[in-house]
Chains A and B, each alone.
Chain A
Amino acid sequence: MKVSINWLKEYVDVSIDMGTLKTQFTEHSQEVDSIHPLVQVRDIIVGHVLTCEPHPDADKLSVCSVDIKLNTVQIVCGADNVAASQKVIVALPGAVLDKGLVIEPTTIRGVESNGMICSLTELGIAQKYHGETGIHVLNDDAVIGSSALETLALDDVVMTLDLTPNRADLLSMHGVAYDVGAIFNKPVSIETPSVTYGELKNPMTIKTQTDACMSYYGAVIDDLVIKESPSWMKTRLIAAGIRPINNVVDITNYVLIETGQPLHAFDFDALNSETIVVRNAVKDETFVTLDDKKRHLEPQDIVITDGQKAVALGGVMGGAATEVTRETKSILLESATFNPITIRKTSSRLDLRSESSLRFERGIDPKKTQFALMRACALLVEHASATVRQNTAFFDYNDLKDKVLRLSLVKINHVLGTNLDVSMVQSVLNRLQFDFEMTQEVFNIKVPTRRQDIQTYQDLIEEIARLIGYSQLPETLPLNRTVGGLSPYQAFKRSIRRALIGLSLNEVINYALVDLDRNNDLTGKPTNNMVFLANPLSEQHQVLTLSPLNGLMDVLSYHRARKMNDVQLFEIGKRYTTHKETETLGIALMGHYQPQAWKAHQPIDFYTLKGIIQALFESLNIQEVTYDKTELDAYHPHQTAWIKVQSHKVGHIAKLHPTTARRYDLEDVYVCELNIEKLFKYKTPKVDYQPVQRYPQMIRDVAIALKEDIASKQVIDAIQDLPFTALKEAFVFDVYQGEHLDEDKKSLAIRLVFEDSTQTLEADMIDQHMRVVADTLVNIFDAELR
């Protein structure tokens, strides 16, 4: 809402500096975006063009002598429409025009020019508001030498409000005046319009067949003289952001801004009916709106009809057939109220949002419906020489009574945490001009119909709080009756993050909405349970991701494209499917792990990632982990495994298949995806304490050569299955393939650690164990001892 301060002054004393108005209105009512002069120009005056001759040396220029009262100046003007005897806007040397342009004396093609004859655009009025291409020609009654800003009533200041949708009342000058009055404790005076009627009687009958039209007032006005509006009215409309058209249209807009009540004028002769029936549109009904577009209506739309056919789309737009034109002599002027939701639906469906629909959507003061019509009639009599017919036709089902709400002082203080006394509350209610009665510190407050937003006692508490000022509220803390903390699951997620950060991985956060092509579920599972948006904004973000790996691939691509090749990332994201969203960890690595610029170092491989996962699981106390080799389309056929905890699948680890990698412009990429909820479920819940062993360990190694496709885990499992109570662990400490071995063979060196909690181990027994181990491996795996 843009508020003309000159206009506001008609209702309330605004002799406050603009900075104070801005802060106070912001702190007590609604945010003020800006307060600034309507036009930023200085020292422009009214001049009279005495002579206007063609420039001797330029086709398109004229040389004018202009009377500016004190003397006559010569000005070269480039506008087509300049002519002798016009009253014009003159900027003399030293004057400042829009955008800080300072006028100086100059010579144009050999002719002296001591100033400039101005267009409205040069004053800073956007062309869309005046439509003029040349200089602005003033009315003949303009006083030569006087201020052109005052003559045009442009010496105004505009306050722009950023309104919240509840404060419909502030979509009118009257509403703003009441709030300014309440904030600064100033009286507000709004005159009730008085209309002088003509001889003729209003012939209209008006009725409704729909609940969605609550009231409708219609006045018939004759003898209109359609012309330009007075300058002050045009300026106020421009200040409000509305383009002046002609006096009839301007008056309806003026009253709209003044009262918040939209009006609509029908050409009475084109209407050619003495009946108005408001009803819902019928199926397949069409209607040509003012903008000459044929609209397909739906039964929820409200139409204004002449008893037969639609003549307006109620509350949204008039019809082309009954549009007011320059030839219009009589009008039917409508002031009505409609169901806000209905207007909202119709205007948004047809994309016909306007100043009117905005106000209907947010709700109108029902008392303003008749008031606005009368105000418009009075202005038409004054500025369009109109005659208003007697008797306004109308129906009105609105509740015009002020709502009464009950509120106690105790409640106010209980909610706000304050110690307000009765007089402070009374003072606020008085400033708001709300009538009230009070008995024993309980108020019965009459809320005027202009404040449709105030529905409950909570709304009233807000009125009191905002006008007293939130700066007056004490600062306290709530009583502590709860125990705070993270849930075990939340703490678990934080542990994952800590561990991975410690392992040199960086956390990223990606968009959950991704491209369909990208959402190809890297595990290669069927994806018919993807979650699609019904109303996406772009293809890039149209479906919810099936894995955080999707986003991670894009982040890797991003870095590789910028020559950052050593990147290790993780994301705690989600897998979204139609039936579930599952918190999921994604890890992606490429390049070198903890690289050192000047030393030879190995690139990341499968085991780098596996080591990271092992360390993560170790820190989370996740035990009984197995890696089951598998093949999935997106991944390397020999470097892909399901990760299982206690035999439950919790995720996968893999190298990207070169084809997949190429899709992302990547090469060697290792990824891991883990279901965090399952990890939490299968983690070993308790610490199982064991005393540190006092007796020394005994360590033995065995080296074997065996077929390369036998997994080392099989070998270890076979050793661990042997009935040795003293065997604490067995692990591979060297793997070799190459020289001195058959091509399909590999050599494994395995270390066995023995320990006994009750005694020192005997070497003989362990040696015997080792012979059993050797025999077993030879037998089971056809291994050869080395």
Chain B
Amino acid sequence: MSTQAQINALEKALEKELNMCQKFAELNDIKAQYLGKKSQLTDLMKAMKDSTPEEKRELGQYINQAKSTFNAMIEAKKTALEAASVRAKLNQETLDLSLPGPDYTLGQSHVLTQIIESIEDLFVGMGYVIKEGPELESDAYNFEKLNLPKDHPARDMQDSFYISKHTLLRTHTSPVQVRTMLEYGGKKPVKIICPGKVYRRDDDDATHSHQFMQIEGLVVDKNTTMSDLKGTLRIVAEHLFGAQREIRLRPSYFPFTEPSVEVDVTCAQCHGAGCPMCKHTGYIEILGAGMVHDAVLEASGYDPKIYQGFAFGIGVERLAMLKYGIEDIRNFYINDLRFLKQFK
């Protein structure tokens, strides 16, 4: 049999063995058997020593070619075995992909915080700063400097929790306006909003809460007009209730503003046509506002001959109730997570 024929026979035999092989260990044996020192290929090499130089060159070529072919065949088998082994391992790692992942929920800010921050951001963008103040407030700041002297009938509108004769829980965040104007010394323009907790001596029910959140706004400058107030409130209404809202200003009364207005926004449900939500008026009252009363400017160190401005006060719970259709103000303070988690 010629050497060539022997090599061909070896290749066939190797192919057959590789096809049978399932394990790395066997593969090593095969490699040794076909390419090792005791392989038939080695024997063929040894047998070459009796050949002529020409024959040697030819045979050498055959044998070297066979070596690289055999090597490639074995490597290919090795790769295939490795892939099979990885696959076998992965087959042990099946999962029920329909099971939920761990409960990595984020927490949430309170719905009232969400509304306050959203309004704060709106006003910050319009050049306002945020001012805060104490909840335990003096009668002077809460009432007297706001043109609400003792025994003023309008004090009935804000029944108060007193701590002592001169100290009370603030009934609105307006005292922060007074504090800020005094801080500014009657000179520079004021553009602030004042969010915070306020208290009224009311029994809690679906629409009343002895504690609630208010955001007051105040702008005082040389040329601040009531039209500026209206334009600003329109932006607030659209920010909170969506575009294409109409607002309606109608006469009202607050001792600290003159003229004073209540501000209504067109009903979100019926867009002004009239429905049970707006009691068939087409409008929903959202806040009170007005031009700052001269007496308040004077008490806060601003000369009303030079400065004028506007103020408004928003009840945050009321906004949230209107925005989301929440039926009972007490929900905000029960803090049931099933309630709070709904407001994303």
Contact = CB atoms under 8 A, between A and B. Distances in A.
Interface of A: 26-31, 164-167, 340-341, 344-345, 361-362, 414-418, 456, 458-459, 461-462, 465-466, 470-471, 473-487, 490, 494, 497, 500-513, 531-537, 541, 544, 555, 558-559, 562, 564, 567-570, 574, 576, 581, 594-599
A480 to B, nearest CB: 5
Contact of B104 (A461, A481, A594, A599): A594
Contact of A558 (B135, B156, B336): B336
Nearest to B333: A511
24 contacts: A166-B154, A344-B151, A415-B225, A416-B226, A416-B227, A417-B227, A478-B224, A481-B189, A482-B128, A484-B125, A490-B132, A497-B109, A500-B107, A506-B107, A507-B108, A507-B340, A511-B333, A512-B211, A513-B161, A533-B163, A534-B161, A537-B203, A559-B337, A598-B99
B102 A594 contact: yes
Given A362-B153, A477-B126, 12 more contacts: A31-B250, A470-B250, A471-B248, A473-B249, A475-B227, A482-B128, A484-B128, A485-B124, A497-B109, A500-B107, A596-B102, A598-B100
Contact of B124 (A165, A341, A481, A486): A486
A536 B210 CA distance: 10
Interface of B: 99-110, 112-113, 117, 120, 123-130, 132, 134-136, 151, 153-154, 156-157, 161-164, 169, 189, 191, 197, 199, 201-203, 210-211, 219, 221, 223-228, 230-232, 234-235, 248-253, 258-262, 291, 293-294, 308, 332-337, 340-341
Nearest to A533: B161
Contacts of B107: 500-507, 568, 570
B265 to A, nearest CB: 14
Contacts of B135: 512, 574, 576, 581
A469 B135 CA distance: 37
Given A480-B127, A506-B341, A511 B231 contact: no
B286 to A, nearest CB: 14
Contacts, number: 233
B249 A531 contact: no
Contacts of A558: 334-336
Given A362-B153, A465-B226, A581-B136, A509 B110 contact: yes
Nearest to B228: A478
B330 to A, nearest CB: 10
A465 B259 contact: yes
A480 B123 CA distance: 12
Contact of B232 (A29, A465, A478, A490): A478
Given A341-B151, A484-B127, A501 B108 contact: yes
A487 B136 contact: no
Contacts of B129: 482-485, 487
A567 B333 CA distance: 16
A345 B164 contact: no
A481 B107 CA distance: 38
Contacts of A534: 161-164
Given A508-B335, A534-B163, A165 B253 contact: yes
A559 B317 CA distance: 23
A531 B162 CA distance: 10
A752 to B, nearest CB: 32
A532 B163 contact: yes
A196 to B, nearest CB: 39
B277 to A, nearest CB: 17
Contacts of A533: 161-163, 169
B125 A506 contact: no
Contacts of B308: 414-415
A535 B165 CA distance: 11
A382 to B, nearest CB: 35
